[in-house]
């Protein structure tokens, strides 16, 4: 195995698109909190720390999931032999350390507290929580939504009315992420059952799990107009968030027939909803 392939494998371990997307969500949290007057140093530190920590979390997840991935995802770096398990573990620890250094050096105490909790959650997720029905899914959902809280904490303090919108953004992201994680578990039932994991679809049945995911998406869609009703964002927000709701609801429906397509398309709706908050905040400041 050549050096180029090893480097490529290490990059793949981080799920770079997902890691960068998490950094973007942290930026959105800061932008929604304070608008255009963003303090460059803490925001950049928070974004970079999020990207690195997310990449580290993905890498260590692949380390612990290497046997399951031989069944569910044989093309991932460790199962195909591009990266050894030890190299993946060392790489993950290095990314975590750099993320921690950035947080401690550049961010306020509230952001440090969130970062420490999230890092512990990332490290313990696969070995401790992933196999517990619904618990691992809920933890991942929190982590997905908490990127917005982390971005807000990086620019703390913020106005109370704006904080309410950030909390709504966190809840919407968490609900949609929880729905996606449940659908993904349905997709991975074969490998998870082989490894003896008791994920939610295995514990309660695949169809019931998909129904729960759909209900979560309906709740998120119903709650999405709250920032408009509170008067924080205007009509421009609704123009973007309503199509996002439709995409997510369709993805939930699609998951019943094709979980792979459903969880994949759900990401597009989640991205649109994040864009809606940027537009809503931007127009409110104009």
Together in a domain, 279 and 195: yes
| pLDDT surpassing 70 at residue 140 | yes
Which residue, 158, 176, 203, sits at the end of a domain?
A: 158
CATH code of the domain covering residue 143: 1.10.357.140
Which residue carries 């770079």 as its tokens?
16
- The whole-number pLDDT of residue 166 equals 85
Residue 190 — very low, low, confident or very high, per pLDDT cuts 50/70/90? Answer: confident
Together in a domain, 137 and 181: no
> First and final CA of the chain: distance in angstroms?
54
| pLDDT surpassing 80 at residue 161 | no
Together in a domain, 164 and 137: no
Together in a domain, 100 and 170: no
Together in a domain, 171 and 144: no
- The reported pTM is 0.85
**Considering the chain, what is the average pLDDT of its residues?**
89
Together in a domain, 150 and 166: no
Q: Which residues contact 7 (CB under 8 A, 6 or more apart)?
A: none
Q: Of the candidates 134, 51, 63, 53, which has an alpha carbon nearest to the alpha carbon of residue 96? A: 53
pLDDT digits (tens, 9 = 90+) for 262-281: 988 998 898 898 888 888 88
* In contact, 246 and 222? CB cutoff 8 Å: no
3-state helix, strand, coil in the chain (%, to 5): 85, 0, 15
pLDDT digits (tens, 9 = 90+) for 124-139: 876 777 777 888 899 9
Structure tokens at 160: 């109370």
Give how many domains the chain has, as a whole number.
2
Q: Which burial class, exposed, middle or buried, applies to 209 when counting CB atoms under 10 A from its CB (0-12, 13-18, 19+)?
A: buried
Residue 284 — very low, low, confident or very high, per pLDDT cuts 50/70/90? Answer: low
Together in a domain, 145 and 164: no
Which residue, 158, 192, 220, sits at the end of a domain?
A: 158
- The whole-number pLDDT of residue 12 equals 95
Together in a domain, 92 and 117: yes
Mean pLDDT in residue range 96-111:
94
Together in a domain, 264 and 206: yes
Note down the domain range covering 11: 1-158
| DSSP code of residue 225 | T
Which residue, 130, 158, 186, sits at the end of a domain?
A: 158
- CA-to-CA distance for 170 and 53, rounded, in angstroms? 19
| DSSP code of residue 205 | -
- CA-to-CA distance for 1 and 232, rounded, in angstroms? 55
Together in a domain, 101 and 231: no
Structure tokens at 249: 């609801």
Residue 83 — very low, low, confident or very high, per pLDDT cuts 50/70/90? Answer: very high
Together in a domain, 124 and 187: no
């Amino acid at each position: 195995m050549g050096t180029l392939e090893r480097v490529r494998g290490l990059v793949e371990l981080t799920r770079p698109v997902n890691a960068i997307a998490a950094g973007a969500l942290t930026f959105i949290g800061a932008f929604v909190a304070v608008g255009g007057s963003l303090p460059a140093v803490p925001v950049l530190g928070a974004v970079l720390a999020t990207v690195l920590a997310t990449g580290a979390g993905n890498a260590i997840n692949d380390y612990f999931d290497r046997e399951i991935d031989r069944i569910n995802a044989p093309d991932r770096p460790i199962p195909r032999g591009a990266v050894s398990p030890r190299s993946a573990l060392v790489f993950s620890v290095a990314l975590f350390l750099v993320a921690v250094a950035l947080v401690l050096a550049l961010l306020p105490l509230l952001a440090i507290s969130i970062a420490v909790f999230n890092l512990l959650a990332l490290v313990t997720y696969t070995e401790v929580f992933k196999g517990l029905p619904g618990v691992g899914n809920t933890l991942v959902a929190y982590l997905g939504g908490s990127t917005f809280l982390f971005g807000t904490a990086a620019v703390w303090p913020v106005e109370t009315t704006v904080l309410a919108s950030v909390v709504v953004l966190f809840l919407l992201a968490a609900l949609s992420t929880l729905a996606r994680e449940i659908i993904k578990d349905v997709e991975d039932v074969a490998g998870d059952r082989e490894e003896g994991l008791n994920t939610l679809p295995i514990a309660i049945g695949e169809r019931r799990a998909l129904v729960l995911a759909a209900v979560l998406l309906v709740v998120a869609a119903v709650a999405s107009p709250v920032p408009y009703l509170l008067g924080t964002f205007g009509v421009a927000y609704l123009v973007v968030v309503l199509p996002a709701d439709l995409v997510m609801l369709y993805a939930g429906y699609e998951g019943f027939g094709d979980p792979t397509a459903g969880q994949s398309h759900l990401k597009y709706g989640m991205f649109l909803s994040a864009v809606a908050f940027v537009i809503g905040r931007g127009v409110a400041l104009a």
